[in-house]
Structure 1
Amino acid sequence: MRKTVAVAATVALFGALTACGGGEAESGGPVTLRMTTWSANPDHVKLFDAIAAEYKTTHPDVTVKFDALPFENYTTTVTTQIAGGNAPDIAWILEGAAPDFVASGALTPLDDSIEDAADLAPTATALWKQDGKLMGYPFSTSPFGVFVNTDLLKKAGQTLPTGDQWTWDNASKVAAATAAKTGKQGLVVRDFDYKDWTNLATVFRGWGAEAWTADGKTCGFDQPPMVDAMTFLHKAIFTDKALPAPGVAADFFAGESAMTIAQISRASLLKEDGFGWTLVPLPAGPSGSYAVIGQGGIGVLKKGKNAAAAQEFVKFFTSPANSAKLAQFFPPPRQSQLNADTLAKANPLLKPEQLQDVVIDGIENGVVKPSHAGSAEINQAVRSGLDPLWKPGADVTGVLKGVCTAINPLLAK
């Protein structure tokens, strides 16, 4: 019930974002900027604080504070703050919420706030533009890859498939065999946890499946590619035991699973004295090789109290120099920085070939996770619709037809 209320509130809030006036006028005196993020990772925070401290040396009257909010309710919290008159000056925006933020009029155009904007990859900025204007800066354009615990595979007598053999069928077999032999878990779709279904796009797009058509108007869950992909997932979970069952938690970075699907920013969780590991692209599916990208954008809120000062800080935060620093965790949208040499300097844990295969090739060939206007309501409907799927003996086709029945009216809005 709380989740339903939160979704309803978010839907209502997006409709009201432009109904009220902007933030209070800036005083011209000392300014404190508040920037909401969804990461409290100490390494991330340390980097953000360092960038803010450097900015303060040339802007002594400006203090930047980073407000880390829980990921699961991030968008709802930010939109509640906006509607309640407590809008942040700058906000990270999830790719799923980008269509709502961009279309709502809540954001200030950033065309004049980005240095060397021509360097931004068109594929990276597509989701963040409206009427030709850049409404959000995609500071993180990060393909998903598979981290593999090579020590655990060796202990189980398993070998990581390579080349043409790196397929979903073979990945599932290795994950299941390793889990059975070691008592650990097999493959974890990180941050899915049977809640955030959009992370399953890292799997189902291997079958050429889409949540909805390109125009966003028609559900794709009941189509054969999605039925086949979800049938594979169901079997991998409940028959083969290749993936953790509902209610089972396993942290790859604590050595609790053989593999996990995640982005390169997660590499910071690996310990120098931990286990042997490698990073590889997503396995090929029946439709061939593919890549899936998660994006995070930065937006300046119109209803923030310091929009002009916020734009100036965003210009500094997103400069080529700071973009290179952020590349340690967040692959940049700048084409000049999307090469193995540049990324390797910021990511010493990753080998140049890993950065090329997973990140650079992934950005060039990948597609962004599902996003749609009204995402909060749609995502909740999909999640509820998929709930009956996560049990043994589920009617996969019937469940997916039910998802479409639930979301087609929402897609048509």
Structure 2
Amino acid sequence: MRPLGKLAAVAALSVLAVSACGGGGTPAQSAGPKTLRMTVWTASEPHLTLLNEIAAEYKKTHPEVAEIKFESIPAETYTTTLTTQIAGGNPPDLAWILEGSAPDFVASGALAPIKAKLDNAADLIPSVTKLWEKDGELYAYPFSTSPFGMFVNTDLLEDAGQDDPADLVKSGEWTWEKAMAMSAAVAKKGKAGLVIPDFDDYKNWTNLSTIWGGWGASAWSADGKTCTFNSPEMVEAMTFFHKSVFTDKAVPGPGTTVDFTAGDAAMAVSQISRAGTLKEAGFGWDLVPLPKGPKGEYAVIGQAGVGVLKRSPNAELATDFLAFFTNQANSAKLAQFFPPPRQSLLTAETLAKSNPLLKQEQLQQVVIEGIGKGVVKPTHTGQEELLQTVRTALDPLWKPGADVKAVLDGVCAKIQPMLGA
């Protein structure tokens, strides 16, 4: 990362601590009906249509609200843009927050407490809300708790003479070794094998946890103080992935973008929110759990919360809207794209009502069982700087003949001082 970019990331995150103390002041409230602004990272038309429908319903009984705006910010610049808005004295009233940024936002005190305002807070699953809590208080509602699964193009696999992954799941033979061999077979036929949609630029390394989790590997220790990028488990997992990319050609290499939804790849690691893009797919597809690794079955969860900025000029009203946005009825609607943290809604039958493209068996295996046994993608305080530092340190790995152990030792050399041990 360029020095200026690194400084910008650090400076942006330091704003959160300042905001907790009221640094820069809170914008004055204007008289008359209020406009609420909520930052989101989605620009998906179906997502925004649903959000606006919920907002319109809220406004019917709240004449004090003139408008609720959903401001779409690209995911790759989301956190930096959000913290820059806070620093500039223009915080949104509400904001979606990526799981990686949760430790910084919660620890800083930049978010308003919301637990007392939520509809049926006792229905929230404790293990799911843990990332968003501090001292018994909840600072963001984890509206999306979505395990990763494997979408498969059954037509491409059949054309390449490969087994049906659903059958392998039933027989207990659905493993990473098998999945990569099948992907390589498809690649030899002219299509791509396995793609990780949010890792096609070889930058968003946290999504590789969907693979290394099968080896029991992790980026750092459970207490966050020790780098474990060079542990034996991680070295084995990343060696396997490197071989899959550069030797077996089972995974497209750096600089190659492949669209699974266009029928150009055999498999894609993703979440159920992507199922909607397959509504009119011209090929047969299925959704199965992530393959087993050497350490057995596992699951990885991507999570997102929505919180109220403490420095919002309309914090009280924004908290009231958040309570409405996340109540039982609206949580059921949001479940079409974002698996909810509510125990009462996490049944295959309930999720199937809002996810008509997916079968109850798929939702049970991938979502419900995944939430039960899954771990959240890597998170840590100072996440923005860590993300950039690890990404740069991993760059030498993405070429043929790389020394995997040496590169991973280099990652730990760079980030261990940042982990606070």
Q: How does 1:138-149 map to 2 (within 5 A)?
A: 138-149=142-153
Which residue of the partner structure matches residue 196 of structure 2?
189
CA, structure 1 residues 22+131, in 2 after alignment: closer, same or farther (shift >3 Å)?
Answer: farther
Q: Deviations over 1:253-281 (max 9, x none)?
A: 12121110000001111133521100000
- Work out which of the residue numbers 134, 137, 142 in structure 2 matches 1:133: 137
> Following the alignment from structure 1 to structure 2, what is the Cα–Cα distance between the partners of residues 241 and 329?
32
> Following the alignment from structure 2 to structure 1, what is the Cα–Cα distance between the partners of residues 379 and 238?
19
Segment drifting more, 151-160 vs 235-244:
151-160
> Following the alignment from structure 1 to structure 2, what is the Cα–Cα distance between the partners of residues 143 and 160?
22
Q: Judge conservation of contact 1:22–1:304 (CA < 8 Å) in 2.
A: no
Q: Tell me which stretches of 4 or more aligned residues in structure 1 moved more than 6 Å.
A: none
Secondary structure, counterpart of 1:297 in structure 2: strand
Query: What count of residue pairs does the alignment treat as equivalent?
Result: 412
> Following the alignment from structure 2 to structure 1, what is the Cα–Cα distance between the partners of residues 365 and 391?
32
Q: Judge conservation of contact 1:124–1:138 (CA < 8 Å) in 2.
A: yes
Q: How does 1:205-216 map to 2 (within 5 A)?
A: 205-216=213-224
Q: Judge conservation of contact 2:149–2:270 (CA < 8 Å) in 1.
A: yes
Q: Structure 2: which 5+ residue stretches go unaligned?
A: none
Which residue of the partner structure matches residue 159 of structure 2?
155
> Following the alignment from structure 1 to structure 2, what is the Cα–Cα distance between the partners of residues 272 and 96?
33
Q: Judge conservation of contact 2:214–2:293 (CA < 8 Å) in 1.
A: yes
- Work out which of the residue numbers 4, 9, 12 in structure 1 matches 2:11: 9
- Work out which of the residue numbers 37, 40, 48 in structure 2 matches 1:37: 40
CA, structure 1 residues 250+6, in 2 after alignment: closer, same or farther (shift >3 Å)?
Answer: farther
Secondary structure, counterpart of 1:73 in structure 2: helix
Which residue of the partner structure matches residue 122 of structure 1?
126
Q: Deviations over 1:348-392 (max 9, x none)?
A: 000000000000000011010010000011111111111000000
> Following the alignment from structure 2 to structure 1, what is the Cα–Cα distance between the partners of residues 393 and 111?
32
Q: Which amino acid aligns with 1:410?
A: M
Q: Judge conservation of contact 1:160–1:174 (CA < 8 Å) in 2.
A: no
Which residue of the partner structure matches residue 301 of structure 1?
309
- Work out which of the residue numbers 102, 117, 120 in structure 2 matches 1:113: 117
Q: Which amino acid aligns with 1:17?
A: S
Q: Judge conservation of contact 2:263–2:281 (CA < 8 Å) in 1.
A: no
> Following the alignment from structure 1 to structure 2, what is the Cα–Cα distance between the partners of residues 13 and 358?
38
> Following the alignment from structure 1 to structure 2, what is the Cα–Cα distance between the partners of residues 308 and 27?
14
Which residue of the partner structure matches residue 101 of structure 2?
97
Secondary structure, counterpart of 1:32 in structure 2: strand
Which residue of the partner structure matches residue 321 of structure 2?
313
Secondary structure, counterpart of 2:20 in structure 1: coil
Segment drifting more, 252-261 vs 101-110:
252-261
Secondary structure, counterpart of 1:72 in structure 2: helix
Question: Quick check: 1:176 aligned with 2:184?
Answer: yes
Question: Quick check: 1:83 aligned with 2:87?
Answer: yes
Segment drifting more, 17-26 vs 207-216:
17-26
Q: Judge conservation of contact 1:291–1:366 (CA < 8 Å) in 2.
A: yes
Q: Deviations over 1:222-254 (max 9, x none)?
A: 100000000000000000001110000001112
Secondary structure, counterpart of 2:69 in structure 1: strand
Deviation at 1:141, TM superposition (A): 0.4
Q: Judge conservation of contact 1:25–1:306 (CA < 8 Å) in 2.
A: no
Q: Which amino acid aligns with 2:330?
A: N
Deviation at 1:21, TM superposition (A): 5.3
CA, structure 1 residues 375+273, in 2 after alignment: closer, same or farther (shift >3 Å)?
Answer: closer
> Following the alignment from structure 2 to structure 1, what is the Cα–Cα distance between the partners of residues 263 and 392?
31
Deviation at 1:5, TM superposition (A): 4.1
Secondary structure, counterpart of 1:392 in structure 2: coil
Q: Deviations over 1:98-121 (max 9, x none)?
A: 000001110000012210000000
CA, structure 1 residues 322+187, in 2 after alignment: closer, same or farther (shift >3 Å)?
Answer: same
Q: Deviations over 1:76-109 (max 9, x none)?
A: 0000000101100000000000000001110000
Question: Quick check: 1:234 aligned with 2:236?
Answer: no
Q: Judge conservation of contact 1:231–1:396 (CA < 8 Å) in 2.
A: yes
Question: Quick check: 1:23 aligned with 2:23?
Answer: no
- Work out which of the residue numbers 167, 178, 195 in structure 1 matches 2:175: 167
> Following the alignment from structure 1 to structure 2, what is the Cα–Cα distance between the partners of residues 22 and 328?
39
Q: Judge conservation of contact 2:36–2:318 (CA < 8 Å) in 1.
A: yes
Which residue of the partner structure matches residue 284 of structure 1?
292
Which residue of the partner structure matches residue 410 of structure 1?
418
Q: Judge conservation of contact 1:216–1:372 (CA < 8 Å) in 2.
A: yes
Question: Quick check: 1:198 aligned with 2:206?
Answer: yes
Q: Which amino acid aligns with 2:211?
A: V
Deviation at 1:22, TM superposition (A): 4.9
> Following the alignment from structure 2 to structure 1, what is the Cα–Cα distance between the partners of residues 50 and 228?
40
Which residue of the partner structure matches residue 51 of structure 1?
54
Q: Which amino acid aligns with 2:310?
A: K
Q: Judge conservation of contact 1:145–1:279 (CA < 8 Å) in 2.
A: yes
Query: Please, what TM-score do these two structures have when normalized by structure 2?
Result: 0.96
Q: Provide the alpha-carbon RMSD of the alignment.
A: 1.3
> Following the alignment from structure 1 to structure 2, what is the Cα–Cα distance between the partners of residues 148 and 401?
34
Secondary structure, counterpart of 1:165 in structure 2: coil
Q: Judge conservation of contact 2:205–2:391 (CA < 8 Å) in 1.
A: yes
> Following the alignment from structure 1 to structure 2, what is the Cα–Cα distance between the partners of residues 147 and 184?
15
> Following the alignment from structure 2 to structure 1, what is the Cα–Cα distance between the partners of residues 375 and 402?
30
Q: How does 1:380-391 map to 2 (within 5 A)?
A: 380-391=388-399
